[in-house]
A and B are shown apart, each in its own frame.
Chain A
Amino acid sequence: MVAEIGQFVLILALITAIFQGVFPLIGAAQNSQPMMRFASNAALVQFLAVTAAFICLTVGYVTSDFSILNVANNSHSLKPMLYKISGVWGNHEGSLLLWSLILALFGLAVAVFGRNLPDTLKARVLSIQGLVGVGFLMFILFTSNPFERLDPAPLDGSGLNPLLQDPGLAFHPPFLYLGYVGLSVTFSFAIAALIEGKVDPAWARWVRPWTLAAWGFLTVGIALGSWWAYYELGWGGWWFWDPVENASFMPWLAATALLHSAIVVEKRDALKNWTILLAIIAFSLSLLGTFLVRSGVLNSVHAFASDPARGVFILIFLIVVIGGSLLLYGIRAPQMKGGGLFAPISREGALVLNNLLLSTATATILLGTLYPIFLDAFTGAKVSVGPPYFEATFLPLAIPLVIAMAFGPFLAWKRGDLAGVISRLKFGLFLSLLLVGFIWWQQTDAPVMAFVGMGLFAWLLIGSLLEWSDRIKLFRGPLSSSWRRMKQVPRSAHGMTVAHIGVALVVLGITASETWQTEHLGVMRPGEIVSVGGYDFRFDGAETIAGPNYEAVRGTFLASTGSNKGDYLYPEQRRYTTPPMETTEAAIRPMLSADLYVVIGEEDGTGGYAVRIYHKPFISWIWIGSFVMFFGGALSLSDRRLRLGAPRRTRQQKAVATDLSGVKG
């Protein structure tokens, strides 16, 4: 019964989405108020319908209703409740349903929070949201129905991949999708602006909070994903340059670029065409990422079951959405007035540099991800593009980006004073070189990248702090006046400082953990002690324990330094029964200075166990930095200017039509 209700409301959602996509668009063209207002109501109905469908599928999972094919394939009655629920989106059909749910949620959010938007813009934005929803709901209903029945129903389900039974992964997709789909709002705003033929600073202000929110969620989603890889895959790596990871990283890079170029639109009324293009590209990359792994075009590790009917649908959908919006861009963009010329040494000049580097980085990753397909199509040769390519192309772009990140905020709009900036940053340069020198003194044979990375970390951290203290005139007057200034500085400025510091912390984490990791690898017997990274690890033996749906060998280790008592670590080697699979549960003691990471393997037959112990300095800072970045975004999002003081442009509404006809490329 519950599956039939789910199916029914999903069809209802599709019909609503079609109406939401068509009527407001006509209404905006004819300036018909009722048709435009319909958009908000439709967004609400669509959200309720998709939510109902999602609840139906969740009920199917929670009650282990194995007469639903999707549940039977991906769940099991013995699975812990958390993973029964996360199992809802741990498969192709369910994840698409989650995507549609979040899309409808964002549509509703635009309807609710967009009260101060001009009627036509709001109607058009919601209508584009609706049309994207049509594509997704059709894809679900026609090729990937999560409510398909199975007759006869099996006694038990075939289980979820044990690697995916993990709290980190349970929450990774929702955040990632919040990010992907959040970019759909920016995309809808961009398309609406192209239809209206008008982009102005007010538009940039309306788009900014959505971009920030999407960017923040993407940051968290990617961080959770890499954290999961770090502790679940059991060899301490956290980034693989897998196509699926690239698929989430590319929209993040594009969204970061968009975030910065939108500032130029807002402050200087320039870079408009480019910003629109970035908004389209960012969402296109999200779509490409979602679909590429499901289409069968790319043979990926993470790939969901692919089926040719889906591939065709996906490709047509991508061509309509991406091709259609880029074509619209090609036709309408020339009619939009560009801004004035930029001085290269200025805030906007720095932001253009940021955009150039970020979009080049996006392009190289896209190239690396698609290259195997292209080469195969043209020459028949099959190649693999692995981490070596991405490291070789991404790092040369990331390094100047980080260098410029410290400079940019110091520069004034229109005409910056490079000499003045350098004189204010010389303290930062001095401290960075001091740190590099110190490392050299400690370890002359450290790899070059260690010096570069640590130097960049110090440079960006100190540069950001200097800029912040400059802004509030710290130490240049009484502290009380600095405090007053600090409260007056807009939160978005504080947010920028925090986010940039977050990047510095990520650089620290990556550099230190890649360079100074130490490890021990070998067979250990109970009572044996090894020393790794200044810690003594004592192996106290292993026992077999039973979990809810697995059996595990659990080792006990005591890690201690001479000075304190130490911590117990319990790594596990789990053997799941449905489906039969082994997973490694590393025991990790995260600390600010380093992570202790212990993995236990098979018994060697004589009482010894294969053991792997890592000491990874500062690796936690990769994720701390990511969350600091997210916090910076949230701080900026809470800036009241974004919510209240957005300039009205109701009076300009009538001018739109004349604008379009009057302006020539």
Chain B
Amino acid sequence: MRFRFLTPVLAFAGIAVVMWYALFNLNPTEIPTELINKPAPEFALEPVPGYGPGLAQSDLATGKVVLLNVFASWCVACMAEHPFFMKLKAQDTVDIYGLNYKDTPDAAAQWLARHGNPYKRTGVDLKGRVGIDFGVYGVPETFVISPDGKILDKIIGPVSEDMFDARIRPLLNGAGS
């Protein structure tokens, strides 16, 4: 019976081992390798009410490089990248599609109304099913989609201007040339 008092330390040891492993072997900004250069998973979603005709897998293969941004109205970090997306839209740098993740359609519509809509099309992923297919780990995430609808890269966390220049702009130029 006295060994039951060791349960807490054993439980913690388990947690510590996993965290140690996570620290050295997992990169939270890493894309699951099996998705790179694969076509985007199949899906078809309703739009955020009032924002476009909906979003499906076929909409992503547009003949040019586009971004698929996973966002939610409850996501604080999405507000950080949002002004930059508005700027990209204003400069017409790249088309951005919005995947609204585990949100209520009304909240998403209000969020877009208030902050502005940087998206060409939007899709509501109410239960996060499509997010799971895409391997969405947290919100926001941004996928770079090739002209033929394949996933080229994925950025976890808010997209900053530096990150855009380093990781996304080369892909845009690569497709253009």
Contact = CB atoms under 8 A, between A and B. Distances in A.
Contact of B13 (A296, A323, A376, A377): A323
Nearest to B137: A382
Interface in A366-392: 370, 372-374, 376-377, 380-384, 386-388
A665 B15 contact: no
A373 B19 contact: yes
Nearest to B136: A384
Nearest to A335: B2
A593 interface: no
Nearest to B83: A582
B35 to A, nearest CB: 10
A311 interface: yes
Given A315-B16, A326-B8, A295 B23 contact: yes
A55 B128 CA distance: 48
Given A234-B114, A329-B9, A610-B113, A372 B23 contact: no
Contacts of B74: 237, 240, 386-387
Contact of B28 (A298, A312, A318): A298
Interface residues of A, number: 59
B20 interface: yes
A396 interface: no
Contact size range, B:
35 or more
A581 B83 contact: yes
Contacts, number: 136
Contacts of B132: 383
A434 interface: no
Interface string B60-85: 00000000000011111101100100
A545 interface: no
Given A297-B23, A299-B138, A377-B21, A601 B131 contact: no
Contacts of A322: 12, 16
B76 A665 contact: no
A382 B136 contact: yes
Interface string B1-41: 11001111100110110111111011011001000000000
Given A315-B16, A372-B137, A240 B6 contact: no
Contact of B18 (A323, A377, A601): A377
A382 B23 contact: no
B9 A326 contact: yes
Interface string A205-241: 0000000000000000000000001000111010010
Contacts of A341: none
A382 B128 contact: no
Contacts of B9: 323, 326-327, 329-330
Interface hub of A380, A382, A612 (most chain B Cβ within 10 A)? A382
B114 A612 contact: yes
Nearest to A599: B114
A413 B18 CA distance: 43
Nearest to B14: A374
A569 interface: no
A329 B23 contact: no
A575 to B, nearest CB: 9
Nearest to A273: B5
B137 A235 contact: no
Contact of A240 (B76, B138, B156): B76
Interface in B99-115: 101-102, 107, 110-111, 113-115
A242 interface: yes
Nearest to B82: A582
Contacts of A329: 5, 8-9
Contacts of A123: none
Contacts of A312: 23
Contacts of B76: 229, 233, 240, 242, 301
A373 B26 contact: yes
Contacts of B80: 581
B137 A521 contact: no
Contacts of A522: 113
A384 B102 CA distance: 10
A333 interface: yes
A322 B73 CA distance: 36
Given A376-B26, A384-B131, A333 B116 contact: no
Interface-centre pick from B28, B131, B139, B156 (highest chain A CB count, 10 A): B28
B147 interface: no
A164 interface: no
A381 B135 contact: yes
27 contacts: A229-B76, A235-B107, A235-B111, A235-B114, A240-B76, A277-B8, A284-B12, A296-B23, A296-B28, A297-B19, A299-B156, A308-B23, A311-B23, A330-B5, A331-B5, A372-B137, A377-B18, A377-B26, A382-B135, A382-B137, A383-B136, A384-B102, A384-B139, A386-B102, A388-B102, A521-B113, A601-B113
